[in-house]
């Protein structure tokens, strides 16, 4: 049974609305506006409206990173200039909200694949905020090309901006499922979304499998996407069954632990070094919590904590005694601190028609693949329209070359040469206009040969595009080729594409006996005599052997 949030009786006119009915209607309009226009990402391109507008505005400003063909990228500009253009043209909201979105897209510890290349202070893992927008600079990152490259080729629908002065894209072409790639988070009225980031190469493999197996289940896709891939690394310790259930339903969470190693300091001493912490956990807050637990004597195994981090995370934990089991020490810290955290997953996204839905992994990838097919068809039809227009002009120009003298005579002698050309050579208005705009230097035999070659090339391209539009198999093969090309550029063989988060099983540790854990383990020799006496010999490093006899009966 489907529940409806609001089903008021339609009044005869606005004048007859009661206060309660008016409040209900106004609240529903506000709620839908927040859900569709601000809080939830679109399943097609994975962007919320403010993010999409920032990327599109920066593209219009010429702030691209540069293409794979060797084109030079733009110089970064002040973030304040970007925010001003976004607010003035597309996003009539607060400047701080727009700048916060820009900052997050530039943080390599917040997004797995940052979409903006930022210069200046854009915050840190300690939880420090970014510098003011007048002090930072930004341009588009290289991977943002995958969102924007085809936007001028008729691939997406454009809608009027807030004041009708210009247009903005409803969606971006998105050659990757960015809602899974970088994740998303947002809170709307009565609903929220929280999607962790994933690995690009794994998503490409899953999408390719789904192209060849359209009815593949989420369980089958999990052989390619074992779980999230966080920018800050960490170890995912959930069992495979729990992860599979989370991806099937689109709701759940992941247990993420810090990555640590035991570092030998010689002479029997050791320490624990934490090199990766869970996603979105501020390092400074974690250090403060550990220091607080030490001061309050809530972790008797831990003596000290030091932050030796530079660019990489390095948190040193000193045990209270060398006899402490490091596994037991870390398990106690996992229970008491954010060295273990839960990352929620709620894949609530806007689907076709801007309807919010919670989708599983397979459904999200299908929605994105359908978007890519729509983009391919729109791009092909746009190109086909361009080819038809050019072929029409080429055919008119080739007619002219058959009788150049007559054409020149008409242009020189007639008062309305355009009408005379249309009448004499049976041309249309477009062809006649193109002939009149042709330069005299182009009226040579070599130019005629080039026009014939262009006509032949475009005719073949038109045939190929028509064949593509008529064949579903060719369309999916083209999409698969595009996915493989993206994987080659940003896949696991590249520095940015390597998986950062690993998987492991959490050790089974019962209730920790503090007394037993602090007992020092040392070698002990026990001697039993025939006359009923027992002697123990305890050997200590740097000390003499101690022994004594005692009766054991």
| Residues involved in catalysis | 135
Residue whose tokens read 């996603």: 279
CB atoms within 10 A of CB 489: 16
* Cα–Cα nearest to 185, from 197, 173, 174: 197
Structure tokens at 135: 């002090």
Place of tokens 């705009």: 437
| Residue 424, CA distances (Å) to 115, 363, 401 in order | 57, 60, 14
As a whole number of angstroms, the distance between CA 277 and CA 273 comes to 11
Strands, sheet with 546-551, edge to edge from the N-terminal-most edge strand: 524-528, 533-538, 546-551
Are the CB atoms for 307 and 283 separated by under 8 Å? yes
What is the DSSP secondary-structure string of 25-42? HHHHHHHHHHIIIIISPB
**Could you give the C-alpha distances from 499 to 103, 112, 530, in angstroms and in order?**
24, 10, 65
> What is the rounded distance in angstroms from the CA atom of residue 267 to the CA atom of residue 519?
19
Distance, in Å, from the CA atom of 423 to the CA atom of 479, rounded to the nearest integer, reads 47
| Contact call for residues 126 and 283 (beta carbons, < 8 A) | yes
Residue in this structure with the two tokens 């679109």, named with its chain if needed: 42
Name, in order, each residue with C-beta under 8 angstroms of 254's C-beta and a sequence gap of 6 or more: 196, 227, 228, 236, 238, 243, 246, 342, 343, 345
Strands 546-551 and 269-276: unpaired
């Amino acid at each position: 049974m489907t529940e409806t949030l609001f089903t008021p009786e339609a009044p005869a006119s606005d004048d007859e609305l009661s206060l309660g009915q008016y409040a209900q209607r106004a609240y529903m309009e506000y709620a839908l506006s927040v859900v569709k226009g601000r809080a939830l990402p679109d399943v097609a391109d994975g962007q919320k409206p403010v993010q999409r507008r920032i990327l599109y505005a920066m593209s219009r400003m010429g702030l691209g990173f540069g293409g794979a063909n060797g084109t030079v990228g733009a110089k970064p500009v002040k973030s304040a200039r970007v925010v001003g253009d976004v607010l003035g043209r597309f996003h009539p909201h607060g400047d701080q909200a727009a700048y916060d979105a820009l900052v997050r897209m530039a943080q390599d510890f917040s997004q797995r694949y940052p979409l903006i290349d930022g210069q200046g202070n854009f915050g840190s893992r300690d939880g420090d905020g970014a510098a003011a927008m007048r002090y930072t600079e930004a341009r588009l990152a290289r991977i943002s090309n995958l969102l924007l490259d085809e936007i001028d080729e008729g691939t997406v629908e454009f809608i009027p901006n807030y004041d009708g002065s210009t247009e903005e894209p409803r969606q971006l072409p998105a050659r990757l499922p960015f809602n899974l790639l970088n994740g998303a988070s947002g809170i709307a009225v009565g609903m929220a979304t929280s999607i962790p980031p994933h690995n690009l190469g794994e998503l490409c493999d899953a999408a390719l499998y789904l192209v060849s197996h359209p009815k593949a289940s989420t369980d089958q896709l999990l052989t390619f996407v074992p779980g999230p891939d966080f920018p800050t690394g960490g170890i995912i310790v959930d069992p495979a069954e729990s992860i599979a259930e989370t991806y099937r339903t689109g709701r759940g969470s992941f247990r993420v632990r810090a990555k640590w190693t035991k570092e030998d300091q010689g002479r029997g001493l050791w320490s624990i070094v934490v090199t990766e912490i869970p996603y979105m956990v501020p390092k400074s807050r974690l250090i403060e919590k550990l220091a607080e637990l030490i001061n309050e004597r809530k972790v008797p195994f831990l003596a000290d904590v030091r932050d030796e981090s530079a660019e990489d995370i390095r948190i040193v934990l000193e045990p209270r005694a060398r006899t402490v089991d490091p596994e037991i020490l870390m398990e106690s810290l996992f229970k008491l601190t954010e060295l273990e955290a839960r990352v929620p997953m709620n894949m609530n996204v806007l689907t076709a028609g801007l309807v919010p839905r919670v989708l599983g992994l397979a459904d999200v990838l299908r929605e994105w693949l359908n978007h890519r097919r729509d983009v391919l068809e729109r791009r092909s039809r746009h190109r086909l329209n361009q080819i038809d227009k050019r072929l029409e002009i080429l055919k008119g120009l080739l007619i002219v070359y058959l009788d150049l003298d007559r054409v020149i005579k008409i242009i020189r002698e007639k008062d309305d040469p355009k009408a005379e050309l249309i009448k004499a050579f049976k041309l249309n208005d477009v062809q006649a206009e193109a002939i009149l705009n042709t330069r005299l230097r182009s009226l040579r035999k070599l130019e005629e040969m080039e026009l014939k070659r262009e006509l032949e090339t475009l005719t073949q391209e038109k045939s190929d595009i028509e064949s593509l539009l008529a064949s579903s198999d060719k369309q999916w093969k083209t999409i698969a080729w595009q996915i493989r090309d993206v994987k080659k550029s940003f896949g696991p063989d590249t520095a940015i594409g390597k998986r950062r988060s690993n998987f492991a099983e959490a050790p089974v540790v019962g209730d920790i006996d503090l007394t037993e854990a602090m007992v020092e383990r040392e070698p002990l020799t026990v001697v039993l005599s025939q006359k009923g006496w027992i002697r123990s010999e305890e050997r200590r490093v740097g000390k003499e052997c101690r022994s004594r006899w005692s009766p054991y009966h």
